[in-house]
Structure 1
């Protein structure tokens, strides 16, 4: 594709070189540059792509996008106002605006995004609709699945992924939309048909600074939709978003349990085998069953049912699609162990997520709840004592351990968590090594106890100060059982 074609709809401040240059590929990572590529210089928290222009040119780049005044011979240099904001436009131009050929559904919120996207995909697959998925755990291109490195990929990668979905004949795409992706413009040039808001609770305040900024970041999704916005009206921030977007020229559908909503769950039943409720819509009522337990599972099912209701999917297909999804990796996932106690892995790494899973377990626990958890380093520090208090209040015994400490001292993180639990009448112990912490929980567990391993979920690694190590809690538990624990 000619460089001039890629620059359509972009405010070019100045350029030098040949705009008829043929571009065969685009990247923002200098290590991926090949002959006849365009290299887009973007700035990150610890790097600046402008520092890698020479490397990119040596590898064969023929066009460079910058937002600084930089001269370079033998290549086309294009200066724009903001390289990062120009990138999604360039990506959409290069890949043929793929989201215009897909029915794109975006899900945003602090908790529930992953499970909701999996539920929507399950329903659409039950309806024989080929569906791609983008999220925290993996990316399903409609033909094959690849591992995900972040909740919402960078804008250029997103356009390529959507292009691959279209090439694989996908009709729908369902994706998690993080607040970071909305703030950094990663989903600009994505044509959403439906936007869904699940909830807003404390997380990422190290980045957003306060709840208002966090909510406003999430709210950006609902000005990018074409067909409908779906809002959890039980959530206080959902009600604010609902009021804010009412004048936007897209219908708003509400769902909930406690507040009157367009789509509601009635006659809810919950136990350790899952949930059952009556789905009440403006057109019909039907029974929904899911093997994923907990009130949060009702909300996730409501969100998925609301989106597919808007899409005109038959009620029996919605019911069957939800019932077909037996579990989501790392989300209230029961480990298959031959022990008299139960072990559950859950990604809960924020206060509300931890409280939700513990309250869910408390509803059916016959023995003690033993919670193994920590908090990630280089992330919102304010939530650490809050999570300590929640774990202590809702558990019978807590083991505070390391999560992904990153550049921080894991023992300092543990001490900050401990501030929230030490004045609560819950026995606890601090064991920095996570494998040792899990071992301790298994050794003390009695028949009917439930061990909750919270925070890591689907992750198969641990991020330490100087390295990333393999750490899959499923593997760790299996190894400990093989050792006789």
Structure 2
């Protein structure tokens, strides 16, 4: 492939060599460069690709894409662009033959609800015969293949690589989570989104390695609506108008408000031992009843979003109803049967906004006690710990503070920060640093009518300590605890 073919949708300057050369591979990781590669120099948080120009030249790179002045050997072509991340995105699309243009792409942005909504949309569209690819926080799904995710929105090269495999596999549409960081770092630049979705906005992802402030976070969310044909938005969110202030797409809305184009009315909470759900009626652009086996108001929002999208695929109401009834997402209010007396669930809520939303929802079901087990990640904002501690102390009848992903911090220090937040309330708490022991305590002390939430880990199957990810899946821990308690009971009854 000629270099200028990769650059055909970019403005660029050839500062050395020729853009007519043939190249073999497109690379942005210096370790993967081989003879004939074009290397894109990305200025990252940890390292700057511009510093590796000599190294990649020695490995046989034919060309480098830069946004700064560099010194390169005479036989290496140097292409100057305004933004190398943007260039990587458009070059990746060209490298894989513009696969996104062969499918209908649906992008979802927002602080919470993205993951659940992607799976709901996938479930509904597959019910009527569409083949749907998925890219998100938990995994990428290409046919029967599931690839664990390391970022909500992968690097642009990986996105287009997935798109190419999805198109080859026969997918006719893709539903993907679009993070604010993904938008900020141009990972989704050039993708022709047919539909963009805004779920909600809360004060999260603000810090040294994320967004500098809330205004920047809000601005980045709005970027999606400058590159999609149709924007579907939660009209009830207080930041909806600001996020859409620069939108260039057509707009539709959903929510509980009378202003919503598609709205939920007559909402009813449903509960029985080990089961929590919700039912409502959809009105406005559509008209039918819905029942879902996931509790709460945010489940209504998530399902309304999915319905709003699937309306544009002409999915019959009956198929939507059937698909929503069975849609489940790992680690998103995932109920685990452990007792006939109380309900236990796993959820990914890992910031104050999502935890408050979850606990407020569960309180509406009037449990005998609401028990919340959680920890906070290391090397992240202390504010998040204080806020989550305060939320749990205020809303839960009992908080079990434990460890999450301590990373390079001491778990006890993180627990102490959470306690600082709880101390602002009258909430009862216990602290058990070992997560398995904390889960054992929750199960052993479960009382009739309790709802117990294990928050923060969700779909994750590891615990990150000192830079190493150790296997740790809460589903496995629960099984182990139940087996051990059963043996203990047998021993005691002898």
Specify the alignment match of 1:351 in structure 2.
352
Farther-moved stretch of structure 1 (257-266 vs 453-462): 257-266
SS at structure 2 position matched to 1:303: helix
* Residue deviations 1:384-438 (CA, integer Å, cap 9, x gap): 2221111111111111122222233332222222122114222102222322322
Structure 2 residue ranges without an equivalent (≥5): 487-494
Partner residue in 2 for 1:460: 461
Residue 88 of structure 2 aligns to a residue whose secondary structure is: helix
Q: 2:277 maps to which residue?
A: 274
2:379 equivalent in structure 1? 378
In 2, Cα distance between equivalents of 1:369 and 1:19 = 64
- 1:21 and 1:305, CA in 2 relative to 1: closer, same or farther beyond 3 A? same
**Structure 1: gaps spanning 5 or more residues:** none
Distance 1:395 1:106 in 2: 34
- 1:303 corresponds to: 305
How far did 1:330 drift? 0.4
RMSD: 2.0
Change (3 A) 1:43 1:249: closer
> Corresponding residue for 1:256?
255
Equivalent residue number for residue 192 of structure 2: 191
Change (3 A) 1:62 1:254: same
Indicate the SS of the match to 1:452: strand
Give CA-to-partner distance per residue, 1:202-239, whole Å, 9 cap, x none.
2112132332221111011111112x111101110124
TM-score using structure 1 length: 0.93
Change in CA separation of 1:253 and 1:463 when aligned onto 2, cut-off 3 Å = same
Deviation at 1:188, TM superposition (A): 0.3
**Aligned runs of 1:53-68 on 2, under 5 Å?**
53-68=53-68
> Quick one: distance in 2 between partners of 1:472 and 1:15?
52
Inter-partner Cα distance in structure 1 for 2:86 and 2:165: 22
DSSP 3-state at the match of 2:196:
strand
Matched, 1:26 2:26: yes
Distance 1:337 1:33, change over 3 A: farther
Tell me, in whole angstroms, the C-alpha distance in 1 between the residues paired with 2:445 and 2:144: 45
Which shows bigger deviation, 368-377 or 290-299?
A: 368-377
Q: Classify 1:17/1:238 alpha carbon distance in 2 versus 1 (closer, same or farther; 3 Å).
A: same
Match of 2:8 in 1: 8
Q: State how far apart, in whole Å, the 2-side matches of 1:43 and 1:270 are.
A: 50
User: Does residue 239 of structure 2 align to residue 240 of structure 1?
Assistant: no
Residue 47 of structure 2: aligned partner: 47
In the alignment of these two chains, the number of paired residues is 479
C-alpha separation between the residues in 1 aligned to 2:197 and 2:445? 42
Asked if 2 retains the 8 angstrom alpha-carbon contact of 1:202 and 1:350, the reply is no
CA shift for structure 1 position 53: 3.8
Q: 1:478, 1:34 → 2: CA distance?
A: 47
- How far did 1:467 drift? 1.9
CA distance in 2, matches of 1:339, 1:49: 57
Are 2:211 and 1:212 aligned?
A: no
Q: Alpha carbons of 1:31 and 1:425: their partners in 2 closer, same or farther (altered >3 Å)?
A: same
Residues 117/385 of structure 1: CA separation in 2 closer, same or farther (3 Å cut): same
301-310 or 42-51, larger mean C-alpha shift = 42-51
34-43 or 187-196: bigger deviation: 34-43
| Aligned residue in 1 for 2:490 | none
Greater mean deviation of Cα atoms: 417-426 or 214-223: 417-426
3-state DSSP of counterpart to 1:364: coil
> TM (normalized to structure 2)?
0.92
Stretch of structure 1 that moved more, 108-117 or 33-42: 33-42
Task: Give the Å deviation of 1:194.
Answer: 0.7
Please list, as runs of the form range in 1=range in 2, the aligned pairs for 1:415-430 lying within 5 A after superposition.
415-430=416-431
Decide whether aligned partners of structure 1 residues 52 and 339 sit closer, same or farther in structure 2, where only a CA change above 3 A counts.
Answer: farther
Alpha-carbon contact 1:63-1:76 (below 8 Å) kept? yes
Separation (CA, whole Å) in 2 of partners of 1:461 and 1:173: 28
